[in-house]
Chains A and B, each alone.
Chain A
């Protein structure tokens, strides 16, 4: 494929939104309250819609008979390039909001930069998505504050979630060879440019939420190279079920 780097780069962006969208979609009918249930599935819908835009573009870049559905639903686990953070399972609401918050902060900065991409389609998708993601960020940062500065129980649970998930934040800024090539071409986003701002903003909200900022220096990565935690396989068996049981369905 002529544009292999571009293809892989698009996947590395959109797999994040697909997988997190799927995680949130799992809450449909299972949210802790009606309002939060609807909010999480609304956010999921935004993310799946964004994913679809990227996958349509990826299918075009790959060419041949590839469709958006093939790319979204028929790859094997190691071919998904999402970061480890987004595949972490839903445990309690504190955990779900911490995962969302740590991703939303990144997502906002990322889309801000992607809007400036030389690639017109990526820039257009970012331009559309950033408006939606600002709502996501409002929602998750708001909940971090409410839970962190809430009851003893909600504080402790959210603190545990932040401590656990912090391990996966450094990977957001890890640059693969594909990333580097795309940055050189003016298409990809140089995530290192906003790394310190990311932590500043995240820390500020955590402080406001009376939560401790984790001091851990141990970080995990691998998702961007297709090495995932055990959770992704289980998620995919659910995600891919329809397409595999009834081939050629369109989403």
Chain B
């Protein structure tokens, strides 16, 4: 994938504490195209919902998209990079994708729409960082079952089917489900 770049002025922070210090630059006309690109492992989320697009601008007839990985080893990032290039090609653009590591992605950047899509898909959306700790370390029952809505749930494993998820089980309806961990 593309080389690492540390940028300071083009960071896209839709939510979170740093949003007032930086600017999120995504060309308005590019948003519909970016919205066509889905997370390959959670295909109900667009990459904008996911908050992985830092910036997208047109420069010298080329679209430059900067994305930030969710987890360092997430295999979806390579696929997302390719899908972005294809989506733009279909609309007549040449696109270049760059990976940005800092500031690091956080689950706070998942949009409200993204959180609802996750839940509808059967993945409990991330709680805030303090509640997350209480759930994963303190065994508190705060994560809502995506099947029946009960919070009488328990952690089965801190690591789940992909790097970003933990495995839970509902003690009421007995269904296992994924929980998107705070990062």
Contact = CB atoms under 8 A, between A and B. Distances in A.
Interface of A: 35, 38-39, 42-43, 45-50, 52-53, 56-57, 60, 120-121, 123-125, 127-129, 131-132, 135, 138-139
Interface in B92-119: 101-106
B89 to A, nearest CB: 21
A48 B183 contact: no
Given A135-B181, A138-B136, A52 B73 contact: yes
Contact of B158 (A46, A53, A121, A135): A135
Contacts of A57: 4
Contacts, number: 84
15 contacts: A35-B156, A35-B159, A45-B75, A46-B72, A52-B73, A56-B1, A120-B6, A123-B102, A124-B6, A124-B104, A125-B4, A127-B101, A128-B102, A128-B104, A135-B181
Nearest to A134: B183
B104 A49 contact: no
Contact of A35 (B71, B73, B157): B157
Nearest to A44: B73
A49 B158 contact: no
B40 interface: no
A136 B147 CA distance: 29
Contacts of A38: 157, 159-161
A93 to B, nearest CB: 15
B108 to A, nearest CB: 12
Contact of B74 (A49, A138, A139): A49
Nearest to B1: A56
A237 B4 CA distance: 30
Q: Which secondary structure dominates where chain B touches chain A? A: loop
A135 B183 CA distance: 9
Nearest to A48: B73
B163 interface: yes
A62 to B, nearest CB: 13
A49 B77 CA distance: 11
A132 B181 CA distance: 11
Interface in B50-72: 69, 71-72
B130 interface: no
Interface of B: 1, 3-4, 6, 69, 71-75, 101-106, 136-137, 156-161, 163, 167, 181, 183
Nearest to B101: A124
Contacts of A120: 6, 102
Contacts of A60: 3
Given A38-B159, A138-B137, A49 B72 contact: yes
A46 B71 contact: yes
A129 B4 CA distance: 14
A39 B4 contact: no
A156 B103 CA distance: 43
A53 B75 CA distance: 13
Contacts of B163: 42, 45-46, 132
B4 A139 contact: no
Contacts of B106: 131
Contacts of B159: 35, 38-39, 42-43, 135, 139
A209 to B, nearest CB: 16
A46 B69 CA distance: 12
Given A38-B159, A38-B160, A49 B4 contact: no
B72 A39 contact: no
Contacts of B161: 38
Nearest to B4: A121
B39 to A, nearest CB: 16
The 7 A-B pairs of least Cβ separation, nearest first, read A49-B73, A49-B72, A124-B102, A35-B157, A39-B159, A45-B73, A42-B159
A84 to B, nearest CB: 24
